[in-house]
Amino acid sequence: MSSRIIGQIKRVNGPVIEASGITDAGMMELVHVGELGIVGEVIKLEAGGAIIQVYEDPTGLKPGENVYGTALPLSVELGPGLLGSIYDGIQRPLEEIRNLSGTSIQRGITLPALNREKTWHFVPSPEIPEEVSGGLCLGTVQETKHLLHRVLVPPTLHGRLQYLAEEGEYTVDTVIARLETEGRTAELTMMHAWPIRVSRPVRERLPFNAPLLTGQRVIDTLFPLARGGTVAIPGGFGTGKTMTQHAVAKWCDADIIIYIGCGERGNEMTDVLTSFPDLVDPRTGRSLMERTVLIANTSNMPVSAREASIYTGATMAEYFRDMGYHVALMADSTSRWAEALRELSGRMEEMPAEEGFPAYLPTRIAEFYERAGRMETLGGWEGSLSIIGAVSPPGGDFSEPVTQHTKRFIRCFWGLDRQLANARHYPAISWIESYSEYVEDILPWWEERETGNFVTNRREIMELLHREVRLSQVVKLVGPDALPDSQRFILEVCTLFKNAFLQQNAFDDIDRYSTIEKQARMLDIILSYYRLGSAAIKKGITMVELKRIPALRDIVKMKFTVSNENLDRLDSLAIKLERQLTALEGHHD
């Protein structure tokens, strides 16, 4: 702990503390409060006084105790060793804390986020110009088998390179380079600190050009997310927000996953911690934990650290993006973060806007989602940061402030539907309420692939789903018998599509992840049943006969029976379907 006393506690009434006698504290400065050394941050300065938000339980703090300054803003450590770790909201390593203080988290513990003893094999870049600037790659470390960690010059530095370490084993705090910058010498190590509330600079923003594939059919096919895009998942409790977040975290094709458990259940983080190491990334064949950083600030952990956890995660995500990787950040749930803002704002006795939330809520939400994007980094690579934020609207009512403001700053919306969840239709993403503005952006990407008529198929099925809504309203009034077979067949096809395609079992070894090739062919089969069936109905075949064809049962089960590796079986299924339908017509003639 630093020994620079910057003032004394004046008042304690929760996680917001008033201090007096403040002389040289800086705004957003990281401070230690009281003799326990509780971590806090200066959030307001006034003549002689300051308001400090503390990140640990303030029980026992007394007026008159000292406040110690660090002269640094609240920052995270960035360097090799982040992957596979689990941190709390202010980047304290939870595994190490457990070794030190047992099952519960003691207060006042400060531990380095990155292991200082562990050595990494550093390989300097072969050709480095004499003048270097932020983002330039000094060398690399093979952090995991599949991730090459690029050691970059910190974004704000530039100067003349005087020394670069040779290939060898170094700890993260060993000096590996020296820069002469404006007459001073800056010593660089493999790690550096970055303030969490400041987004890391990039060279320029790039337009979206590819989807972030998740292996979830309803997402990839109907409501795709672009690499670098932003999406919100709102849903009442029990509709499967966390399940959807987990599924995306497990199977999406990002290089790095940052998973923030923000004010959610402790057991959910334990679930991730126990299941991820055993799951295998389908693309690299390695454990999923090797590409994941977890930030756990569960609901019973201090509320201000919940507020900070979102920024801690975003800063780590930007760091990996700067190395030229595709990063996906999951925040579960942004509503808890907004509530933390509300609680702190209330403690500061600020004037509330809607439902007690502070008036700056939309600004904060916008700032957070704007950290996403597909970027050209300072080092000249292409990297992206996609943000997937869960929203927990009170009472499942999407008209509340957090959902509404979030909707203004995202371009993709996966609305979870209570009715679907009640019928155990998972993922319960509503095809009526959800949308994706990225569809147009990534059309060229689809057209380049050999995926048949995917683009037109997608349009057709969306149209059918919307027609189904109107038709089922009619059915609700007059019963299904009032509709002609051609229209009842639409209802039938939509039911088939929901059962055989949209529903996806996250616990089934085959079904949990579908490649886009499988998705495209499954969609194709279902639509050919529609097209051929509609034609047959015109020729006088009844719907009952159409429902009886044996291939239909295979279609319903194809998601479980056909694995991503042998898609040929879908082709033979398509042929079987066509043959049976033709036979039906022949029989009729």
Partner 1 sequence: MTEKIDLEGVQKTLKTGIEYIGLHRVEGPLVFIRKTHPVGYRELLQCVDPKGNIRLGMVLDTTADMVVAQIFESTTGLTLPDTRVRFMGESLTLPVSEKMLGRSFNGLGRPIDGGPVPLGMEERDINGKPVNPTARQYPRDYIQTGISAIDGMNTLIRGQKLPIFSGNGLPHNDLAAQIARQAKVRGTATDFAVVFAAMGVKHDVARYFIRSFEDSGVLEKVALFLSLADDPSIERLLTPRTALTLAEYLAFEKDMHVLVIMTDMTNYCEALREISTLRGEIPSRKGYPGYLYSDLAELYERSGMLAGFGGSITQVPVLTMPNDDISHPIPDLTGYITEGQIVFEREMHGRNIYPPVAGLPSLSRLMKDGIGEGMTREDHPHLSAQLFAAYSYVKDVRNLASVIGEEELTPLDHQYLEFGEFFEGQFVSQAKNEDRTMEETLDLGWKALKKLPAEELHRVTEEELMEYYEG
Residues 29-88 that bind partner 1 (CB under 8 A): 57-65, 86
Q: What are phi and psi of 25, to 5 degrees?
A: -75, 150
Residues 514-553 close enough to bind partner 1 by CB under 8 A = 553
Pick 28 or 273: Cβ nearer partner 1? 273
Q: Which stretch binds partner 1 (CB under 8 A): 131-139, 213-221, 245-253, 267-275?
A: 267-275
State the minimum distance, in angstroms, from the CB of residue 266 to partner 1: 5
* Total residues at interface with partner 1 (CB under 8 A): 74
Pick 65 or 367: Cβ nearer partner 1? 65
Q: Which stretch binds partner 1 (CB under 8 A): 135-143, 173-181, 320-328, 417-425?
A: 417-425
399 forms part of the interface with partner 1 (CB under 8 A):
no
Distance between CA atoms of residues 419 and 131, nearest Å: 61
Distance between CA atoms of residues 573 and 361, nearest Å: 52
Pick 98 or 203: Cβ nearer partner 1? 98
Q: What are phi and psi of 36, to 5 degrees?
A: -75, -20
Binding mask 121-160 for partner 1 (x = CB under 8 A): ----------------------------------------
Out of 298, 334, 403, 406, name the contact with partner 1 by CB under 8 A. 298
507 forms part of the interface with partner 1 (CB under 8 A):
yes
Binding mask 190-229 for partner 1 (x = CB under 8 A): ----------------------------------------
274 forms part of the interface with partner 1 (CB under 8 A):
yes
State the minimum distance, in angstroms, from the CB of residue 319 to partner 1: 23
Q: Which stretch binds partner 1 (CB under 8 A): 171-179, 222-230, 300-308, 572-580?
A: 300-308
State the minimum distance, in angstroms, from the CB of residue 91 to partner 1: 15
Q: Which residues pair with 150 in a beta bridge?
A: 140
Q: Which of 153, 152, 162 is nearest to 184 (CA)?
A: 162
Task: Please give the DSSP secondary-structure letter assigned to residue 539.
Answer: T
Pick 186 or 353: Cβ nearer partner 1? 353
Which tokens sit at 462? 């969306």
102 forms part of the interface with partner 1 (CB under 8 A):
yes
Distance between CA atoms of residues 194 and 152, nearest Å: 13
Residues 324-383 close enough to bind partner 1 by CB under 8 A = 336, 339, 342-343, 346, 349, 352, 355-356
Residues 550-579 close enough to bind partner 1 by CB under 8 A = 553, 556
Distance between CA atoms of residues 168 and 170, nearest Å: 6
266 forms part of the interface with partner 1 (CB under 8 A):
yes
Task: Please give the DSSP secondary-structure letter assigned to residue 422.
Answer: H
Out of 278, 440, 448, 481, name the contact with partner 1 by CB under 8 A. 481
12 forms part of the interface with partner 1 (CB under 8 A):
yes
The 3-class SS string of 45-95 reads EECCEEEEEECCCCCCCCCCCEEEEEEEECEEEECCCCCCCEECCCCCEHH
Pick 190 or 421: Cβ nearer partner 1? 421
The 3-class SS string of 161-227 reads EEEECCCEEEECCCCCEEEEECCEEEEECCCEEEECCCCCCCCEEECCCCECCCCCHHHHHHCCCEC
Pick 422 or 542: Cβ nearer partner 1? 422
Neighbours of 351 (CB within 10 A): 7
Neighbours of 147 (CB within 10 A): 20
Binding mask 234-253 for partner 1 (x = CB under 8 A): --xxx---------------
* H-helix or E-strand spanning residue 148: strand 148-152
Distance between CA atoms of residues 401 and 335, nearest Å: 10
State the minimum distance, in angstroms, from the CB of residue 72 to partner 1: 26
- What length does the chain have? 589
Distance of alpha carbon 244 from the chain centroid: 10
Amino acid at 410: I
State the minimum distance, in angstroms, from the CB of residue 291 to partner 1: 19
3-state secondary structure of 6: strand
Residues 439-468 close enough to bind partner 1 by CB under 8 A = none
In the sheet with 131-133, reading across from the earlier edge strand, the strands are: 131-133, 158-164, 177-181, 184-188
Q: Answer yes or no: are the C-beta atoms of 208 and 441 closer than 8 Å.
A: yes
Pick 98 or 283: Cβ nearer partner 1? 98
Instruction: Kindly give the pairing relationship between strand 326-332 and strand 256-262.
Output: parallel
422 forms part of the interface with partner 1 (CB under 8 A):
yes
Out of 3, 23, 47, 103, name the contact with partner 1 by CB under 8 A. 103
Distance between CA atoms of residues 564 and 508, nearest Å: 13
Q: Which stretch binds partner 1 (CB under 8 A): 11-19, 148-156, 161-169, 251-259?
A: 11-19
474 forms part of the interface with partner 1 (CB under 8 A):
no
State the minimum distance, in angstroms, from the CB of residue 491 to partner 1: 12
Pick 171 or 216: Cβ nearer partner 1? 216
The sign of the CA dihedral 450, 453, 459, 464 is negative
Q: Which of 215, 206, 214, 224 is nearest to 330 (CA)?
A: 214
Q: Which stretch binds partner 1 (CB under 8 A): 156-164, 182-190, 204-212, 291-299?
A: 291-299
